[in-house]
Structure 1
C-alpha cells in the first residue's frame, strides 16, 4: 500500500450510457410483471407496482405534462412523503424530458420551497397532502392567499384531498388518461434528471443537479446486475445501514435485538454513495467514524491545507472523484467552481475531514466548517463529542464554536441530559477536566472546552441532524456572547 492517503476501488462492470427513461421502458418490455417498487407502510401492509404498470402510468403522466407545456429540461417540483404515487409522478416527469426538483419544506409558510420553485422557473408542482390533509396547509402556502390573484403554480395532488382551497388536478385522473397524439421526447444520458437539496447543515441548502448517467450507474445498474445475488427469504429486518453523521460503537447495540447485521455508509447529495463498511455482527467493534472502503468506481484521497496528499494516518480534507458526482449546483456557477479543485483532475470537496488507515479504511473526523479556530489551534468537535458522550446521564452532546474576542472562537459543549438525570454544566466540566489531554485536537495541542450549556432539546434540520448554526447562535445567546 502507498504511503499516501489515497483509496480506489476499480469498477467491476463498465458504465452504461443510457437514460433512466431507457431503463424503465426496457424493464417494462423484458420483465413486465416483475415488481419494480415495493412500499412498506408503517402499519406493516405492503404495496407494489410492476414494471409494466409503472411505465404505462408514468407515460400517461408524461404526456399530460407535455400537453400542459412542459418541454425538455423544464423543472417540475415534487413534494411529499415516499409513496408509489410519487414514484409514478417522478418517472412521468423524466419521461416528459423534464427535471425532477425535489422539495424539502422546512418552514410553515413554504418560503424556502417558493424560492427554489422560482429559481427553477417551475410552473407545475406535484404535491402530497398527506394522511387527513396534514400537509395541505404547507401546499396552500405555496400559492397566493389573495383570491383575486392568479394561482402561482399548477398543482397536481398525489392523493385526494377534502380541501377546495386551491385549484388542483389529481394524479389518479391523469395517470390513466391516454393522449394518443403526444410523442415523448428523446432524452439523453447526460441530460439533467433530478435536483436534490442538501441538508443545509453548513448553511442555506444548495440545489444539486444529477444527470441520468450519474443515477443509472450509481443505482439501477447495480440493482440489475446484483438481483440474482440477493437472497429472498421473506420480509424481515436483516440489516440496518446508517450514515449521515459520525457513527460510533454505541450504535451497534441494535445488533441481535433489532437486526442481524449493522453497516455504515458514507456519501452525500453531491457524490451519492462513496464508501461502505461491510456488515458488523454481535461482538464486532466499530471504530468511531469508520466508514470503510470506496464503492467500485470511486476514488478518495486526503489532502492538507495546501491541497497536497497527506500520508497514511494523517488527518486532512477528504476529496472524491467518480462518475457518480453531481453535474453542478443549479444556477450557481460560483459555488460549483468552489466545490471542485481548480486543476484538470476535478476532485470534489465535500468539506469533510478524515484520515485513511493502514488497513485501507476511511475514518471521518468531522466537517471543515465545524472546526473551531481557537487561537492558533484547530479543535475537532467530533473528537470532543466522542469523549464527552461517555459521561453517565448524558443523552446527546454537540460541541460548537462560540465567539471569543481574544482567540476568535472558543469551545462550547452543548448537551442534553437523560430524563431524570441531575446533570449540571459543572458536572460535565469536571468530567472533561478528568478526560482531556492535548492529543484531542487536529494539531495535537489540546481542546479542553471552556463553556458548557445544558439544553432540553437541540434545534434540528429536516434530516433530523442537529442544526449546528442555530445551536451556535442559541449557545452564544445563553452565554451572553456576541453572535456573529
Structure 2
C-alpha cells in the first residue's frame, strides 16, 4: 500500500457512448406505460408522467422551440420549483440541441437570474410562475431587464397565469397543431446539455457545463423507485441522474421537507408509493430520528442515501427503523458523486468528516500548497479526477486554470487527509462558506445586498450553529453614527430582497438571525476578525457551538 495520499477505485462497468435522448427513447419504447415521475402533495394530490408521456410532450415542446428559432448550442434559461412541467421543459431543451441553464430565483428583484442568463447569453426562457403565481412579481421585473438588454427568441411559462397572458404557456404549446415538420439536430455524447450554477467565492455565480456522456455515465444513480425532493436545478436533485436513466422518481415540494413540520407526512408518501430508496438530507434524517419512538410501522426502505452536510452518529438512528441500510455520500456540483462510506446496516459511530472511499471510476489525492502530494494523515487540499469529472467553468478561463492542475486534476477547495483505513476525512473549506441544509451560501453575496440599505455602515454575514440544518445565516451589522436601525428593520429589508420559503429548496438565502454591533472586532492587520464576530454573535444569540 502506498504511503502517499492517493486513492483510486476501478470502474466495474464499461462507459456508455450514448446521448440522453437515445436513452430516453429506449426507455419509452421498452416501458411506455411505466410511471417515471410521480409528484405528491402531503394532502393527497398525485400527478404522474409515464415514459411515453414524458417523451411525447418533450418532443412537442422541442419542436416549438426549434420553430421559434432555437438552434443547437443556444442557451435556454430554466427556472422554477420542482414539477412535472419542469422535467418536460428540461428534456425538450436538450432534444432541441440547446443547453439548459439553471437559474433559480434567490433575490426578489430577479437580478440574480438576469445576471446568470446574460452571462450565458440565453436565447430563451422557460419559467414557472408558481402554483399561486408566487413568482409573478419577480418574472415581471425580469421581463423589464430582458426587454431592455437581451434578444430572446422564446419565452414560455410552464403553467398558465392570469398575469402573463401575452406569452405562450406549456399547456397551450402541448395542444398546438403541428404547423410544419421540424428537423431535429444530430446530437453527440460530447455535446453539452446543461449548465449547473453554484455560488462563487466572490458571490458571483459559477456555471459548470455537463454533457450527455456525463449524464449517461453518472454514478449517482439510485436503483428502483426513489424518493428525492432536492431541487431539480441542483446536481443532487437533477433529473439527468435518475429520470432520464429509467428510474422512477417520487417527489414532494422541496419546501415541505426544509420546514421540518411534516416529516411523517412525507414519510407516509414514501410508504404509499412503496419506494425502495430515497435521497434525503441529513436534517430530514434528524427529523425522522426525533420521531423514532412513535414509529411502529414495519415499512422500511432498502437504502437511504444522504450527504450534503456533515453526518453524525445521531443520523444513523434511522437504520433498522426507517431503512434497512444507510449510505453516506460526498458530492459536489463540479464532480457529482465523489466518495461513499461503507453501507450502514445498524446504527453506528461515524468519525466526523469521514466520507469513505472514492466511488468506482474516481481518483483522489491530497496536495500541499505547492501542489506536491502529501503522505497519509497529512492535511492538505483534496483533488479529484475522473472520466466524468470537472472540465471547465463556463466563460471563466482564469478560474478554470486556477482549479485545474496538470493531469486534469480538479482542486476541490476542501481540506482533507486520507487516514490509515484509506478513507477521506474532510476537515473544512479553504474559503468561507455557510452550509445551511445542503445549500452552500457565500456570505459576500448577502453582504453586498444588505449594504444597499441606507444607514448600514458595515455588515458581516456568518454561519452560526443549528442543530437541524448544521448552520444558519446570521447578519452582523454596524449602523452609521446616530442612526437607530433595529434587527427587525434589517430583517424587514431582507424579506424584501431575498427569496426564502418560495425558493426552490424552501430556504433560499434569507437570513434567520440579525445582530447589531456597535463596532466589529478587528485583526492587527486592519481586517475584520470574522471568527471573533461569529463567536460574539453566538454568545449574543445564546446558541451552543
* TM-score normalised per structure 2: 0.66
Q: Could you tell me whether the CA contact under 8 Å between 1:60 and 1:176 is conserved in 2? A: no
Q: 1:338 to 1:309 in 2, by over 3 A?
A: same
- Partner in structure 2 of residue 277 of structure 1: 341
- Give the deviation of 1:415 after TM superposition: 4.2
Q: Could you tell me whether the CA contact under 8 Å between 1:266 and 1:275 is conserved in 2? A: yes
- Alignment of 1:366 onto 2:365: no
Q: Distance in 2 between matches of 1:25 and 1:413?
A: 48
- Give the deviation of 1:288 after TM superposition: 0.7
Q: Distance in 2 between matches of 1:276 and 1:416?
A: 25
Q: 1:483 to 1:203 in 2, by over 3 A?
A: farther
- Give the deviation of 1:36 after TM superposition: 2.6
- Alignment of 1:265 onto 2:350: no
SS in structure 1 of the partner of residue 204 of structure 2: coil
- Give the deviation of 1:7 after TM superposition: 1.3
Q: Distance in 2 between matches of 1:81 and 1:211?
A: 23
- Give the deviation of 1:347 after TM superposition: 0.2
Pick 1 or 2: higher relative contact order, CA cutoff 8 A, min separation 6. 2
Q: Distance in 2 between matches of 1:81 and 1:277?
A: 31
- Alignment of 1:173 onto 2:213: no
Among 411, 417, 440, which residue is 1:349 paired with? 411
Q: Distance in 2 between matches of 1:144 and 1:43?
A: 37
- Partner in structure 1 of residue 102 of structure 2: 102
SS in structure 1 of the partner of residue 377 of structure 2: coil
Aligned pairs (5 A) from 1:113-152:
113-144=113-144
- Partner in structure 1 of residue 281 of structure 2: none
Among 290, 294, 310, which residue is 1:246 paired with? 310
- Partner in structure 2 of residue 291 of structure 1: 355
Q: Distance in 2 between matches of 1:24 and 1:256?
A: 36
- Give the deviation of 1:26 after TM superposition: 1.8
- Partner in structure 2 of residue 327 of structure 1: 391
- Give the deviation of 1:466 after TM superposition: 10
Give the aligned length: 408
- Give the deviation of 1:311 after TM superposition: 1.3
Q: 1:353 to 1:111 in 2, by over 3 A?
A: same
- Give the deviation of 1:82 after TM superposition: 1.1
Q: Distance in 2 between matches of 1:146 and 1:54?
A: 30
Q: Distance in 2 between matches of 1:73 and 1:81?
A: 25
Q: Could you tell me whether the CA contact under 8 Å between 1:130 and 1:159 is conserved in 2? A: yes
- Alignment of 1:46 onto 2:46: yes
Q: Distance in 1 between matches of 2:133 and 2:246?
A: 39
- Give the deviation of 1:150 after TM superposition: 9.9
- Give the deviation of 1:136 after TM superposition: 1.6
Q: Could you tell me whether the CA contact under 8 Å between 2:380 and 2:417 is conserved in 1? A: yes
Which digits, 9 at most, give the CA deviation of each residue in 1:304-334, with x for residues without a partner?
1121111112211100001222332111111
Structure 1 alignment gaps of length 5 or more? 372-380, 383-397, 401-411, 419-454
- Give the deviation of 1:83 after TM superposition: 1.1
Q: Highest Rg: 1 or 2?
A: 1
- Give the deviation of 1:85 after TM superposition: 0.8
SS in structure 2 of the partner of residue 82 of structure 1: coil
- Partner in structure 2 of residue 4 of structure 1: 4
Which digits, 9 at most, give the CA deviation of each residue in 1:46-67, with x for residues without a partner?
3321221111111111110000
Aligned pairs (5 A) from 1:210-225:
210-218=210-218
Structure 2 alignment gaps of length 5 or more? 224-241, 249-270, 276-298, 436-440, 444-460, 468-487, 529-545
- Partner in structure 2 of residue 72 of structure 1: 72
SS in structure 2 of the partner of residue 14 of structure 1: coil
- Give the deviation of 1:206 after TM superposition: 0.5
Q: Could you tell me whether the CA contact under 8 Å between 2:220 and 2:337 is conserved in 1? A: no
- Partner in structure 2 of residue 185 of structure 1: 185
Which digits, 9 at most, give the CA deviation of each residue in 1:451-481, with x for residues without a partner?
xxxx99999997689979x99x989876354
Q: Could you tell me whether the CA contact under 8 Å between 1:196 and 1:208 is conserved in 2? A: yes
Q: 1:466 to 1:170 in 2, by over 3 A?
A: closer
- Partner in structure 1 of residue 520 of structure 2: 479
Q: 1:357 to 1:79 in 2, by over 3 A?
A: same
- Alignment of 1:305 onto 2:369: yes
Q: 1:300 to 1:147 in 2, by over 3 A?
A: closer
